[in-house]
Structure 1
Amino acid sequence: MKLSKLLERLDYTCLQGDMDKEITGIYNDSRKVTEGALFLCIRGAVSDGHAYAAQVAEKGASVIVVQDSVEVPESVTVIQVEDSRYAMALIAAAWYDYPAEKLRVIGITGTKGKTTTTYMIRSILEAAGHKVGLIGTIEAIIGDKVIPACNTTPESMTIQEYFAEMVQIGCDSVVMEVSSQGLMLHRTAGILFEIGIFTNLEPDHIGPAEHSSFEEYLECKSRLFRQCKLGIMNADDKHLEEILKGHTCQVETYGFAENADFRATDTKLVSAPGYLGIDYYVSGKRNFQVEIDIPGKFSVYNSLAAIAVCDHFGVTDENIVSALRLAKVKGRIEMIKVSDEFTLMIDYAHNAMALESLLTTLKEYHPKRLVCLFGCGGNRSKSRRFEMGEVSGKLADFTIITSDNPRFEEPEAILADIESAISKTEGKYIKITDRKEAIAYAIHHGQPGDVIVLAGKGHEDYQEICGVKHPMDERVLIKEILEEDAAKAIR
C-alpha cells in the first residue's frame, strides 16, 4: 500500500525521505519489522519505540513514524506526528481499508456491566439473524474463531485486524467493550461508533499505572460520546451529566427513572433450587415482559441497555425475550448445576467493590446461607486482601478462604492476610489452601437453600504460580469433584 494512502487522514510533517513509497507492513514491535515496512515509535509504559529507530532502519524499515526526533539514514522516510498512538490507529484503519465503515460498531463503556451487556447484545442480534463479532475482556469472537483477550480493549492495530476479519467472513456488526484506558491511549481513534453505551461510573482503575484521578477516569469514559452517532445512557447514574459534557451524539436513556426511554417496572426476584433470576416489565419505547437467568438489579440495567440497542436493529419483542433467556457469560454469575438443593455459581468478582455488589445482590434472594469462596492474587496490593476479607466477613454467612493466583508469594501468607481482616468481623470462615479441595468442601457441605459463590477466577482457566500459568478451570474442577464423588458412591 502507498505511504500516502496510509497517511491520508493524518496531520503530519515529513522530516526526511521520499513520500512515494510502497509499504509492505506496519509494525509497532521492532522484533517483527521486515524489509519495506513502516514502524511506529510508540512511547510505552516499559520502553520507548524511539529508542529502536536505528535498529529497525538496519532491518529494512523504509518509513518511521515518530513524535520525537530520531537519527536514521537519509534513505529512511521519517514522518512526525503529534501523537504516535493516535497515528497508529488511523494508519491501521487505512492499512485494513477502513473495515469499521463496513460494520455497525457498538461500543460499551462504564465501570461495571460491559462484559455481560456485550454478550446480551450479541445473543439477541444473532438470534435475529445478524452475524455479530465481539471484542471484550474475556475474548474476541470472529465467527467460529475465539481469541483469548489480553486487554479489555486491544491495541488499535489488533482492533482493525479483527474488524477486517469480521468483514471478510460476513459480519454486519460488532459489539465491543471500550475501556477508559483504551480511550485514553487512542485505541479506538478514527472509529465512528454507530452506538455508544454508558453503563455506570464508580471510582476504579485509579493509580500510577492507570488514571491519575477520578476526574481523568470520567473524562476518558466521556470521549466515547464524542465519537458515536447515538449514545444510550444509564439515566439513573449520578455522573450522567458529567459523562455527557461536550457530547456530539443523539441521546437515549434506560433505567428505572420515569423519564427513561426504556424503563423497568414491576421488578420481581425469581428463585428456585439451582436457579436465580429476575423478572420485570419493559415500558417506554418498547413494552413487554422479560425474565433473565442472571440475578440482581444490575442484570436489569444490562438487559435494558441491550434492548435499547436492539430496538435500533428492528429486533422483535419475541426475539429479544427468547435470546435474553439464553444469554450467558462465562464467569459472570455463571450458575453451575451440582445439586437440586442448593445453588452454586462462579463469578469474576476479584476486588472489594465487585464482591460487595455481588454478595449484596445475592442476599436479596434470602438464601439459607450465603457461602463465599475466594482468594487474592500474589504480588498485588495487600489492601485488596484486607478489603475483600472484611466484605466477605460482613456479608457472607460463611467464607472459605483459598488460593487464587499466588504468583511469587506463598499462598499461606496471602490467606493469613485475608484471615487477619475477616477475623475482625463476626463472619465464620475456614482456610483451605488448595482451591480444588476448597471447592469440594463447599459442595460437600452445601445445605438446602444455600447460595454458594466461587469468586475471583471467573472466566480464567489457569492458576499462576511462580511465573507459570498452570491449567485450572473451576468448571473442570467441579466436574472432577462430582465424578470422583460418583465413583466413590459406586465403590
Structure 2
Amino acid sequence: MLLKEFASLLKLSTIHGDADTVITGIQTDSRKIKSGDLFVCVVGHRMDGHNFAEQAVENGASALVVERKVKLDIPTIYVKDSRIALALFASAFYQYPSHKLKLIGVTGTNGKTTTTYLIDKILRDRFFKTGLMGTIQMKIDHQTYSVENTTQESLELQKNLNLMVKRNIDYCIMEVSSHALEMGRVIGCRYRTAVFTNLTQDHLDYHGTMEKYKQSKGLLFSRLGNTFSDNPNLNKFAIVNGDDEASSYFKKLTTAEVFTYGIEKEDVDVRATDIQITSQGTQFKVISFAGTLDFHLRLIGKFNIYNALAAVATSLIEGISLEEIKGSLKQMKGIDGRFEAVYENQDYLVIVDYSHTPDSLENALKTISEFAEGKIVCVFGCGGDRDRTKRPLMGRIAAKYSDYVYVTSDNPRTEDPKQILIEIEQGISDSGMAKNQYELIVDRYQAIESAIKNAKEKDIILIAGKGHETYQEVHGVKNEFDDRLVAKKVIRSIIK
C-alpha cells in the first residue's frame, strides 16, 4: 500500500513528506522494524511510541504515524488517535479479514476460556474449520501458538485473522477482554456473535468502578452495528446471561437479535433445569427454543452449566441441532487449568483451577462443597500490581468454604509478596476463622507441598489462581512454575 492510501482512511489525517511512499509492513515495536515498514507511535499506559520513533527510523522505518510532532525527516501521517489509526490501518493492510470468516466474541469476568473451547468443540465436530484466540493459546485448525494477552493487540489480531482466512477457517472464536475493548484492540473486527458470560469484581485497578467495567464490556455489543441485511450471513446476534443483571444493559446497547440463557429465570431462551452435580460430572435438562433434551457433562459445577448454555445458544444459532450439541459436550473432557484434577493414585483429590477473582473462587469452592466427603483445603494468592480491593474479599471467601487455607504467592510481579498475603489475611481474620486454620506461606511450592503432605483420605485440595499458567512472575521476572506439575511431583514423592 502507499502511504496516501493509509491516510485516506481518516478524513482528519494529514501527510508530511512523500505521500507515494510504499509501505510493505506495519509495526508498533521499533526493535522489529524492517525496511518498508510503517511505524505507528501508539500511546500506551506505560510507554509512549513517540519516544521510540527515532530508533524506528534508524532501524529502517519508511514512514511514521504520530499524534504529535516529531523532529524527524521522514514521511509522516499525523492523526488524532494513533491507537484507532493502528486498528484501522491494520484492518485495511490485511484486507479486512474479519469480513471473510464468522467471528464469535466471548466477554465476561469468568468463563470466557471454557465457553470458547466448548463452542470450538461443537463446531469442529460438525466439520467446520475453526480458529481460537484466548488466554491459553491461539489455535488455527490443529496448529497452536503461544500468546501474551487474552486478546491480542489490533495489529497482531488482524495479522492472525488474515492467516486464518488464508487457511480457509470458517469460524474464529475469541475471548474479548475488557482491557482490549477499552484500548481499542478489536476496533475494526466485524463480529457475527457477541456472547456475555457474567460480570463480577475484577480489574478495578484499571477500570476504577464496576460501572465503568460494565461499560467497557458493553462496547462489544454496541459495536455489533446498527443495520439489518437481507444476507443471512451478515446477521448479528447477542447472547447474554439472563441471570446476570448486567445483561439488561447490554440488551439496550445492541440492535442485534438477542438470545438469553440461564438457570434461575424461566423466561430465558435456553435454560437448564433438574441439575445434578457430582464429583464425576454434571447432569441437567436443557429447555430451549429448539427443543428439550437431557445433557451430561464431564465438567463439574454450576458455573460450567452456564458456560455450556452459552455454547448451546451460540451453536443453535448456527443451525446445529440440540442432539448434535449434546453429543459434542458429552465428549468434552476439560480445559487446561480449569477445575483440572491432578491424579497420581492418591486417596485424596487435588484440583487446579484458574479462579483468580472473588466470584470464580467462590464458584470453585461452592462446587467442591457440594460433593466433598473430607476436608476442603484451599491454596491461593492474589496477583501483584492488580486490583487490591479483591484481596480481603477472596480471603473471606476462602475462609467461608474451606476447613484450612494456605495463603501464598500468585504472581506478585513488582509488589512485596508478604504485603499481598497480609492484605488477604485481613479478610480471613474478618471472617472469624481461627489462626490455627490457616497459614501464610510466601513460597508457592512450599504451600502446595504442605497442603498435599497434610492431606487425609477423601480430602479435597483446591490450588487456585494460576490454572494453566506455566510461570510465576516475581520482581518482574518470569520463572517456570506449573501448579499441576508441582502437585504431581509432590504426590509422587509421598506415595512412591
Normalised to the residue count of structure 2, the TM-score between the two structures is 0.88
Q: 1-side partners of 2:298 and 2:33: how far apart?
A: 48
Farther-moved stretch of structure 1 (156-165 vs 428-437): 428-437
Which ranges of structure 1 fall in alignment gaps of 5 or more residues? none
Residues 167-204 of structure 1: per-residue CA shift (max 9 Å, x gap): 22332111001112111111111111011111122343
Q: Is 1:263–1:284's contact at 8 Å kept on the other side of the alignment?
A: no
Q: Cα gap change, 1:415/1:81 in structure 2, threshold over 3 Å: closer, same or farther?
A: closer
| CA-CA distance at 1:446 after TM superposition | 3.4
Superposition deviation, residue 407 in structure 1? 4.8
- 1:251 and 2:258 correspond: yes
In the TM superposition, residue 4 of structure 1 has moved relative to its aligned partner by: 4.4
1:336 corresponds to which residue? 342
Between the two proteins, the alignment pairs up a number of residues equal to 480
1:315 aligns with 2:308: no
How has the CA–CA distance of structure 1 residues 478 and 55 changed in structure 2, closer, same or farther, with 3 Å as cutoff?
A: closer
The answer to whether the Cα contact below 8 Å between 1:373 and 1:401 also exists between their aligned partners in 2 is yes
- My pick for the range that moved more, 392-401 or 304-313, is 392-401
- Say if 2:121 is the partner of 1:123: yes
Paired position in structure 1 for 2:478: 469
Q: Which string of whole-angstrom CA distances, capped at 9 and with x for unpartnered residues, describes residues 70-116 of structure 1? A: 3332xx33223332111111211122222212211000111221111
The one-letter amino acid paired with 1:476 is L
Distance between the aligned counterparts of 1:416 and 1:247, measured in 2? 43
Question: Cα offset for 1:290?
Answer: 1.1
Partners of 1:107 and 1:268 in 2: CA distance? 30
The aligned counterpart of 2:297 is: 292
Counterpart for residue 233 of structure 1: 240
Task: Name 1:262's counterpart in structure 2.
Answer: 270
Measured on the aligned residues, the alpha-carbon RMSD in Å equals: 2.7
- CA spacing shift, 1:255–1:16, aligned 2, 3 Å: same
- 1:156 aligns to what? 154
Check if 1:32 corresponds to 2:32: yes
Pick the aligned partner of 2:249 from 234, 239, 242.
242
The answer to whether 1:352 aligns with 2:358 is: yes
Structure 1 SS opposite 2:193:
strand
- Give the 3 Å change call, closer, same or farther, for CA 195–486 of structure 1 in structure 2: same
Change (3 A) 1:278 1:438: farther
State TM-score, norm by structure 1: 0.89
Provide the residue aligned with 1:222 in structure 2.
218
The answer to whether the 8 Å contact 2:103/2:193 transfers is yes
CA deviation vs aligned residue, 1:277-336 (integer Å, no higher than 9, x gap): 343333332421112222222211111110111113332334322322315221111122
C-alpha distance 224-376 of structure 1, shift in aligned 2 (>3 A): closer
Residue 19 (1) aligns with residue 19 (2): yes
User: 2:310: which partner in 1?
Assistant: 305
The CA deviation string for residues 409-445 of structure 1, in whole angstroms up to 9 with x for no partner, is 6756655554565355235224555434443443344
Do the aligned partners of residues 234 and 80 (structure 1) sit closer, same or farther apart at CA in structure 2, a change above 3 Å counting? Answer: same
Shift of 1:28: 1.4
- The SS at the match of 1:176 is strand
Change (3 A) 1:8 1:15: closer
CA distance in 2, matches of 1:18, 1:181: 36
Offset, 1:151: 1.7
Counterpart secondary structure, 1:287: strand
Pairing of 1:135-284 with structure 2 (within 5 A): 135-207=133-205, 210-228=206-224, 229-256=236-263, 257-271=265-279, 275-284=280-289
CA contact under 8 A between 2:106 and 2:112: conserved in structure 1? yes
**Pairwise CA distance, 1:48:** 2.1
Counterpart of 2:269, as a letter, is D
Are 1:458 and 2:467 counterparts?
Answer: yes
2:346/2:491 contact within 8 Å kept: no
Q: 1:83 aligns with which of 81, 84, 90?
A: 81
- The residue type equivalent to 1:250 in the other structure is E
Structure 1 pair 418–45 and aligned structure 2 pair: CA distance change class (3 A): closer
Distance 1:247 1:441 in 2: 50
Matches of 1:232 and 1:224, distance apart in 2: 11
- Distance in 2 between residues matched to 1:396 and 1:32, nearest whole Å: 49
The corresponding residue for 1:446 is 455
Partner of 1:370: 376
Residue of structure 1 equivalent to 2:94? 96
Supply the AA of the counterpart residue of 2:63.
V
Q: Is the 8 A contact 2:346 2:495 kept in 1?
A: no
**One-letter amino acid matched to 1:277:** T
Which shows bigger deviation, 244-253 or 410-419? 410-419
1:232 and 1:378 map into 2 onto residues whose CA distance is 33
* Cα displacement (A) at 1:385: 4.4
Matched residue, 1:47: 47
Task: Give me the whole-angstrom Cα distance separating, in 2, the residues matched to 1:91 and 1:270.
Answer: 51
2:387 counterpart of 1:389: no
Q: Distance in 2 between matches of 1:465 and 1:206?
A: 22
CA shift digits 1:336-382 (9 cap, x unpaired): 23457443211112243432332233323354322211234456666
1:426-441, aligned counterparts within 5 Å? 426=433, 428-432=437-441, 434-441=443-450
Aligned with 1:335: secondary structure? strand
CA contact under 8 A between 2:301 and 2:367: conserved in structure 1? Answer: yes
For 2:319, the aligned partner's letter is G
Which AA in structure 2 matches 1:359?
L
The answer to which of 118-127 and 307-316 deviates more is: 307-316
Please, which of 364, 367, 376 is the counterpart of residue 361 of structure 1?
A: 367
Contact 1:30 1:39 in 2 (8 A): yes
Distance 2:92 2:36 in 1: 17
Q: What stretches of structure 2 of length at least 5 have no aligned partner? A: 225-235
Counterpart amino acid of residue 463 in structure 1: Q
Which deviates more, 434-443 or 326-335? Answer: 434-443
Change (3 A) 1:34 1:146: same
